[in-house]
Structure 1
Amino acid sequence: MEEVNQSMKLYSHPMSSCSRRVRLALNLKGIKYELINITSTADSELLKINPMGYVPALVDGTIAVSDSYAILLYLEEKYPQHALLPQDLVKKSINYQVASIVSSSIQPLQNLVLVNYMGEIVGPDEKLPWAQYHIRKGLVALEKLLVNYAGKYATGDKIYLSDLYLAPQLDNAINRFKLDMTEFPLLLKLHKTYSDTPSFQQILAETDKSVSAFIKLPED
């Protein structure tokens, strides 16, 4: 386990898939940190680091970084052990594409704040169909993208950036949003692998499995 400055803190929430990406990276890299779970976007300590009040936010000594993608890139540059990106340029590009699809085309549209808002303006019965529609659209693209690259994990037999994005997203799709996954055999296989991988198990198990337990906590 890498010894690091004990002032490293991660502001997080168990239901935040963005926070779980970062926690997975920290665990893989063997970095010790203090986990601070946030329950309100008005938390004064969090707002000092990220004025938007979003999780995750990382404090590493005197450096503060918010937004999961920025945090992951920061960790990759400062703590190179267990690289999050392969050396092969093609596989590296696939990892970038997976991260982009999940973070830009799926996660914002199934964000609990937006889902709750849709329930308020359209009706509570529309929350789940809304989320399922947008998740499915992204998973269709991911299934096609990975078909020629997946091994044990998304882009081979090592855990990379794409896996950090996929594992929480697939867990959300299956356990929180109850999406029918029969058309995604490759992604289902990856989900099973993540569920059986010790470095993923604890973090994925912390997720509230109730689809009705929507909380008003944004993430970025």
Structure 2
Amino acid sequence: MDGDLRSLIDMLEAARNEQMIKSALKIFAHSCGYDRFAYLQTEGAQVRTFNSYPGQWESIYLDSNYSRLDPVVTEAKRRRDVFFWTADDWPARGASPLRRFRDEAVDHGIRCGVTIPVEGSYGSTMMLTFASPERKVDISGVLDPRKAVQVVMAVHYQLKILAAKTAVNPKQMLSPREMLCLVWAMRGKTAPETAMLTGINARTVQHYLDKARAKLGAESVPQLVGIAKDRGLV
């Protein structure tokens, strides 16, 4: 298992596009007896996903906001170690939203799996899941926890790098402090609120935001946030 994980980390490091990342994760999943994988990042109400699940299931999951009641997501936010799960442990009777979620997941070939959760920055949670339509395929006990976390972080950073579709002129690169203030602004924080959270003077926070706006050609903070998102900076 350690060899498979090491190989996966190496393949992720060498990946130059999303297809290469997806191929590396598929190879590892199949070597462990799983059919599919799903990388999920939750940040407040926002959900980002990269997976090999059926397209129909991904649409249903996102449109129905299933991340709010998904037992796997709930467990991943609660604990910080690799864990096994099975839909057989979820409610099998009644007409509750959770029962409907369970039935739809099983119908799309997602019955059991292993999930690697990692606590991200600014209250986010990242998790990588390998899933199977079978009743039980549990490799949680033989996964090296340290290497498992490495895999999640490798997927996260490779996807983040690829998201930067627009090349940024060196003169437009934001400083660490400018980026810090921008991230808090993206989360709806005002300059005084950011000052409280970071220990930076409120006027200095505004100064960093003004410099960031000048660099990216934004006329307002909301426009700054929009440009930064479009360029994959945040």
Q: TM-score range by the shorter chain?
A: 0.3 to 0.5
Higher relative contact order (CA 8 A, sep 6+): 1
- TM-score, normalization: structure 1? 0.33
Specify which structure has the higher proportion of strand: 2
- TM-score, length of structure 2 as denominator length: 0.31
Structure with greater Cα Rg: 2
